[in-house]
Every structure is written in C-alpha cells, then in structure tokens.
Amino acid sequence: MSQAKQAARLKRHARIRKIVRGSEQRPRLVTYKSLNAIYAQLVDDDTRKVLMSTSSLKSKKGTKTEKAKEVGKEIAEKAKEKKITKVVFDRNGFKYHGRVKALAEGAREGGLEF
C-alpha cells in the first residue's frame, strides 16, 4: 500500500474511532487485512484489553474472501463461548467490501449482532 493510501486509511480510522467504542458487554470487532491474511479481534476499550482474536493464517485452502468468511465465523464461535452476542463493528478504515464484508457476513452467520 502506498504511503498516501495508508495515510488516508489511518485518517478514516481516526474518524471512525471517535464514534465507535467497545465495552465489556458490547466489545469492538476490529478487522485488519494485510496482503495475505485477515485478522479479527474483540476489544474491550474500557479496560483496553483484547478479549479474543483469530486470523486466516492457519487456514490453507480457499480464496482470501472464503478465508475471511471463515475468520468471521470463528470469532463468532469464540464470542458465543464467552456469552457475547452483540458487538460494534470497526472496519479499521478499510472499505466495506470484499474481504472485510465477507468477515462481517461470516460473523453475522455465526450469531453476532451488529
């Protein structure tokens, strides 16, 4: 990613973070995508702790979009184990399409509400 694109994404992320805030009852579902992988974390902003995380690094088969959907389902399963059903979605300044959208749809299919 070029420096200009990265700077623009970080500005978008800063604008989003002014509004989006996670708590223990409704944590923030943070997404991050690199060229090869996608990551998801549930964050409690009140205590500044990561409650759980997952990534597409361990899955070997499928396209990047299919892997992103699986990551969404996996984070939803982990959240269900800790009795978390509602989250706030933080797309981290990335556009809501492609892998980010697939992760969100996977999380919704897994039972998370946002």
Average pLDDT, 10 consecutive residues per value, the chain (114 residues): 89 88 89 95 94 93 95 96 94 93 97 93
E strand or H helix that includes residue 89: strand 88-90
User: At 65, which CATH number?
Assistant: 3.30.420.100
Range of the domain at 102: 3-110
Q: What is d(CA 20, CA 77) in angstroms, rounded to the nearest whole number?
A: 23
Of 52, 16, 11, 55, the closest CA to residue 32 belongs to 55
Report how far apart, in Å, the C-alpha atoms of 49 and of each of 53, 55, 74, 81, 84 are: 11, 18, 19, 18, 15
pTM recorded for the entire structure: 0.88
First to last CA, the chain: 29
Number of compact structural domains in the chain: 1
